[in-house]
Structure 1
């Protein structure tokens, strides 16, 4: 693990991160753009990367662009959208074979850079408007993406919990935007937003693989130049603690009830309690050996599934479970009891050690892929920290029973959301 060192250079309008490693078979180029989540822009922003990756000036149809990728020894290009705290993050990812392993001398890394520059800077557009047909096609897909959340009740109940819990906060916005706002986007308005994003976003370029920093820098310098900027920061929200727990029940035609519970941890990524919080969550609900899994699912047979996860940049801990509608009160009670048990220190040294071992394995597995490594490193951009993987692991190992109990006592129950079926007469 010692071979992972990140070299960061300030380029024109963005930061370049080079990770030289021969650990992976391919070289990965990832472009990330982040901006504060806003209701005004979220839907346009979600559409933008889809339009950019669909075609470009030199490859004006999706077929032509994909066929060019095949010519590059099956390179892959894909885009991704995520919410991290109050930020909306766009990613473009290109994975390309390492040219060292090829018999012909194609300069693949350079071609990967050229492709990224093509997608970002030479879109399929004319006269300050994107190609109309492309925009309309991607708008239809975007509506389907937003709809698919409603069709998947597990995802839907998680989205609804966040909407209820974070009302009035940017984090309540959905990552793919609002279905009602898709139609109004035009090729011109999207192009205008594209120019704004390239001028204002905080931008980072990651190159991970068997590469030489000097060569990467030369390609980046030549092909990717942007205006210098001071990126907009999200407002630092201080959310006041609710005096009452917000309880929301919603009825739909579902066979299995979805019970999602949201806590505020009051701890965010990189803060002094952050690594202990990871251990806390692991014992509470993060893994198969944790309290929620054993007590709610196995011993009480109350849930089809029960687990918890953290949103580290927003300071949330969310419990997700699937239950029979009639078991609502009992399930809420037993989940709350598990949190209480954590606060009282009702866990063993063995559970602490087991959890640390599982977290360590998880991190090592994560960095087995270049994408996983990138995710871990990018936390530092969001949180303005500089935590390496070694630090991550050593700090987490230091968490003591007292630390874990102290973290539990900072966590507040905020919202209980229940998606229930109609048949139980509730």
Structure 2
């Protein structure tokens, strides 16, 4: 059984991915723009989508643009940023009602494609730069977004772990850019960077819903032209075995609850055959409420307010996040290390294995219940330069053996222990 069919076409320098399905009541457009993370561009790139979605040549104020969305039967538009491996990705997402359900025959899909094209290719300019007023407002908002990651100590400790663990690697850069670069942004230098983006980014447009694919392709051809785009492929890391030395970083801030974050190198990437086993490993180790971290660190030992792990499969990292009393630091580190050792020793049951595979399967099926989730699953392939289908993903997870999980665990190496504690607090209570 195939859950959906994805068709890919290269048109005018953009890769168009269509998924024709009557599962959703709306049609969704998701535009993904990928470029390597670079210190000199990271902050310009972080502000760019938010400037672009504010106004266009046709809709010269944010109010006009939002009114137009309302006229398109309440269409929605969102901009977002993410990191996958060493790449920084801009996402624009639009959702419009499916015109076949309307009494009036408004060409909603074409209107949406046209508007998305306006946002990307015909932004509001003042002379040969972006609108200075919009840029200044967005700089203020960007600083608030960057600051929010520092104010939320759970996010901050994870950010600090990544900065320490990936020093001198592009992945250490924050997706929202660097606060000290925000004041250097101008309407001119961001516009200059935007022109580079149009020439160099890897561009992928997802159209998901119930529409005529040939007609949709013609609309994209009509409204989008990136024929000058070099269509650079993403920089995918090689999961080459690197020398890892365990390090410990302890910092003090005004926090009531200690944040213990531990980073491991998995030596496995999304493209690798062992990816499926790593996902199952993570589920048993710390990914779900039946996992070893949850049960042994949080429930049995009552050492943590939360304890979980997640995998960054495009960078080859495994991150453990937990909130603990400062006095429980040594004991918590010790129990987390014990859970990793247990995984490496195959100390888990067939029930653990089967339950985890079932939960991962359900999670994947839930993800494709929304059109945006479906586009995210499909985009994993683009980010990894891979061609794995959704059916292969489900199949791969279902066939993982205990031996493969143990083998996957054996490649995992502890890299960095990061602990954020309250000022003057003693680690050993």
TM-score with structure 1 length normalisation? 0.98
Deviations 1:104-159 (A, max 9, x none): 11110000011001101110113320001000000100000000001101101111
Instruction: Please name the residue that 1:104 is paired with.
Output: 104
Instruction: Please name the residue that 1:271 is paired with.
Output: 272
Instruction: Please name the residue that 2:49 is paired with.
Output: 49
* Cα distance in 2, alignment partners of residues 209 and 235 from structure 1: 30
Q: Do the aligned partners of 2:80 and 2:91 also contact (CA within 8 Å) in 1? A: yes
Instruction: Please name the residue that 1:280 is paired with.
Output: 281
Instruction: Please name the residue that 1:348 is paired with.
Output: 349
Instruction: Please name the residue that 1:171 is paired with.
Output: 171
* Cα distance in 2, alignment partners of residues 265 and 177 from structure 1: 26
* Cα distance in 1, alignment partners of residues 125 and 94 from structure 2: 22
Instruction: Please name the residue that 1:395 is paired with.
Output: 396
Instruction: Please name the residue that 1:12 is paired with.
Output: 12
* Cα distance in 1, alignment partners of residues 3 and 308 from structure 2: 34
* Secondary structure of the structure 1 residue equivalent to 2:423: coil
* Secondary structure of the structure 1 residue equivalent to 2:388: coil
Q: Do the aligned partners of 1:259 and 1:416 also contact (CA within 8 Å) in 2? A: yes
- Shift in Å at residue 169 of structure 1? 0.2
* Secondary structure of the structure 2 residue equivalent to 1:77: strand
Structure 2: state its 5+ residue gaps. none
Q: Do the aligned partners of 1:242 and 1:414 also contact (CA within 8 Å) in 2? A: no
* Secondary structure of the structure 2 residue equivalent to 1:314: coil
**Distance verdict in 2 for CA 1:39–1:235, change over 3 Å:** farther
1:152-163 alignment runs, 5 A limit: 152-163=152-163
**Distance verdict in 2 for CA 1:239–1:133, change over 3 Å:** farther
- Shift in Å at residue 270 of structure 1? 2.2
1:365-404 alignment runs, 5 A limit: 365-404=366-405
Deviations 1:283-321 (A, max 9, x none): 000000000000000000000000000001000000000
Comparing 247-256 and 229-238, the one that deviates more: 229-238
**Distance verdict in 2 for CA 1:388–1:36, change over 3 Å:** same
* Cα distance in 2, alignment partners of residues 152 and 62 from structure 1: 30
* Cα distance in 1, alignment partners of residues 149 and 210 from structure 2: 38
* Cα distance in 2, alignment partners of residues 229 and 147 from structure 1: 35
Instruction: Please name the residue that 2:211 is paired with.
Output: 211
Instruction: Please name the residue that 1:408 is paired with.
Output: 409
* Secondary structure of the structure 1 residue equivalent to 2:53: helix
Instruction: Please name the residue that 1:313 is paired with.
Output: 314
* Secondary structure of the structure 2 residue equivalent to 1:168: coil
1:333-344 alignment runs, 5 A limit: 333-344=334-345
- Shift in Å at residue 76 of structure 1? 0.3
Deviations 1:53-103 (A, max 9, x none): 011111111111111111111100010100000000001100000111111
Across the aligned residues of Structure 1 and Structure 2, the Cα RMSD in angstroms comes to 1.2
Instruction: Please name the residue that 1:71 is paired with.
Output: 71
**Distance verdict in 2 for CA 1:103–1:230, change over 3 Å:** closer
**Distance verdict in 2 for CA 1:125–1:305, change over 3 Å:** same
- Shift in Å at residue 423 of structure 1? 4.8
Q: Do the aligned partners of 1:128 and 1:192 also contact (CA within 8 Å) in 2? A: no
Comparing 89-98 and 56-65, the one that deviates more: 56-65
Deviations 1:204-233 (A, max 9, x none): 010000111101101001000112414154
Instruction: Please name the residue that 2:290 is paired with.
Output: 289
1:10-49 alignment runs, 5 A limit: 10-49=10-49
1:138-153 alignment runs, 5 A limit: 138-153=138-153
Instruction: Please name the residue that 2:182 is paired with.
Output: 182
Structure 1: state its 5+ residue gaps. none
Q: Do the aligned partners of 2:327 and 2:426 also contact (CA within 8 Å) in 1? A: no
What is the aligned residue count? 426
- Shift in Å at residue 243 of structure 1? 5.1
Instruction: Please name the residue that 1:113 is paired with.
Output: 113
TM-score with structure 2 length normalisation? 0.97
* Cα distance in 2, alignment partners of residues 372 and 246 from structure 1: 36
* Secondary structure of the structure 1 residue equivalent to 2:387: coil
